[in-house]
Amino acid sequence: MRVELLTVGDELLLGDTINGNAAWLGRRLAEHGIEVTRSVVVGDDLDVIVEAVTAALGRADAVITTGGLGPTYDDLTRDALAKAAGAALVRDPALERRLRERVERAGRELQPMALRMADVPEGARILANSAGSAPGLRVELPGGIVYALPGVPFEMHTIMDEIVLPELAEIAGPPAAARRTLRTARMWESVVATRLAEVEAMDGVRLAYLPDPAEVKVRITVVGPGAAARLTGVEARVRELLGDAVYGAEDESLDRVVHRLLAERGATVAAAESLTGGLIGAELTAMPGSSATFAGGVVAYATEAKHRLLGVPADLLAARGAVHPDVAAAMATGVREALDATYGLAVTGVAGPDPQDGRPVGTIYIGVAGPGHSPIVVGPKLPVPGAGPESRAVIRRMTVVHALELLRRVLLGLDVGDANGEARPDREDRG
């Protein structure tokens, strides 16, 4: 089963809106063993949409479109499908009635333009939208099937999961491939790929590397007879080759792993942040129920705040500046004591665009204070990806990942080497 994706909208084509629908659809289809062979973005142009749909069906068994099903005159997907099918657009009485009832329940006045959402290409099958107004459509064209879904993400997700995915899975039959995604932290993509060279050479095995700041996801695909059984052995070998860098699988994000490890130990963590400005706290509160293991945080951005709120010695700050391993250690100890947490996690550093206290951009120090040992500090030198606000954002994101990964390693008793797959001393020269 070969599927192509077609997302419609000027806002996507011109970069005003990130194309999250295509990413979500690609993941969901892959999970069901359905091969996505191409993803295309087109603007709100009737003839361009018709051409794109026709071309896609010349290559694939089915096309999934998102966007262009709303009430405005630039919503042209239904018109394009009618033109491609050589069919008229007809008003569906049941859809019109449903639209009128929804508007009436909301206490609004129905705009005549909204009734465009009740127009469907003659012969099309309506895909019920239980989450919104615009229905999806299933249209059979020469060469294959087109599933047209709304562009609003939660509406698209609903129709896809309730109707389209089960239908495609039935058409496709048992998957001929098995997939698994492993997540790693603090290891460069090139290092990951080098370590997995022998797996790359295995017959019927494909690896894809999906990098984010300070993280790399490795998607393992095994194809052919017995794919699911083979995947177990391949995954085990990948884990062996990557070692402690693998922190989770599939949707098991780093913050969830940290929360799980804390919960297993009946422990809590508090965060003291400087350059990240609350990003660690945001990460650690993203999961429902995180209050059981996250005690809270202190954003001590100014140097004086580090002294006043976290008890970092004033003479240390005066002598060493705010970006120093001893400051990270003191911040971790201070927030642990202030919020009565089992562990204190602290970050201080230089996100840019200018150096600070004689430290270059990309210098960070991360400290963890916990029971039974002195604070542990690492100081990975982060790469500077470029100049300007994008570089600053990447450094801050990498710092969050490095901090959570350090805490994970402390909780598991693993080596706390600084970065990039190389074990290093856990303390820098304090000069």
Q: What is the largest CA-CA distance in the chain?
A: 80
CATH code for residues 177-249 = 3.30.70.2860
Q: State residue 246's pLDDT score.
A: 98
Q: What is the pLDDT of residues 315-341, one digit of tens each?
A: 999 999 999 999 999 999 999 999 999
Parts of the chain belonging to CATH 3.40.980.10: 2-172
Residue 402, SS3?
Answer: helix
Window from 72-81, 126-135, 247-256, 410-419 with minimum mean pLDDT: 410-419
- Which of 79, 81, 176, 71 is CA-nearest to residue 116? 71
CATH code for residues 254-412 = 3.90.950.20
Q: State residue 421's pLDDT score.
A: 34
In this prediction, residue 113 has a pLDDT band, given cuts at 50, 70 and 90, of: very high
> Do residues 157 and 185 lie in contact, with contact meaning Cβ atoms separated by under 8 Å?
no
Residue 204, SS3?
Answer: coil
Judged against a pLDDT cut of 90, whether residue 431 lies above it is answered with no
Tell me which amino acid residue 360 is: P
Q: State residue 195's pLDDT score.
A: 97
Average confidence (pLDDT) over 288-303:
97
Q: State residue 426's pLDDT score.
A: 34
Q: How far apart are CA 209 and CA 217, in angstroms?
A: 6
Parts of the chain belonging to CATH 3.90.950.20: 254-412
Parts of the chain belonging to CATH 3.30.70.2860: 177-249
**Which residues lie below 8 Å from residue 334, measured CB to CB, with a gap of 6+?**
272, 309, 310, 311, 312, 344, 346
Q: How far apart are CA 128 and CA 138, in angstroms?
A: 11
Q: What is the pLDDT of residues 140-183, one digit of tens each?
A: 999 999 999 999 999 999 999 999 999 998 988 877 788 999 99
Assigned architecture for domain 2-172? 3-Layer(aba) Sandwich (3.40)
Q: State residue 419's pLDDT score.
A: 41
- Which of 191, 252, 241, 179 is CA-nearest to residue 216? 191
Strands (E), 254-382: 269-273, 294-299, 343-349, 364-370, 373-378
Q: What is the pLDDT of residues 32-72, one digit of tens each?
A: 888 899 999 999 999 999 999 999 999 999 999 999 999 99
Q: What percent of the chain has pLDDT over 70?
A: 96
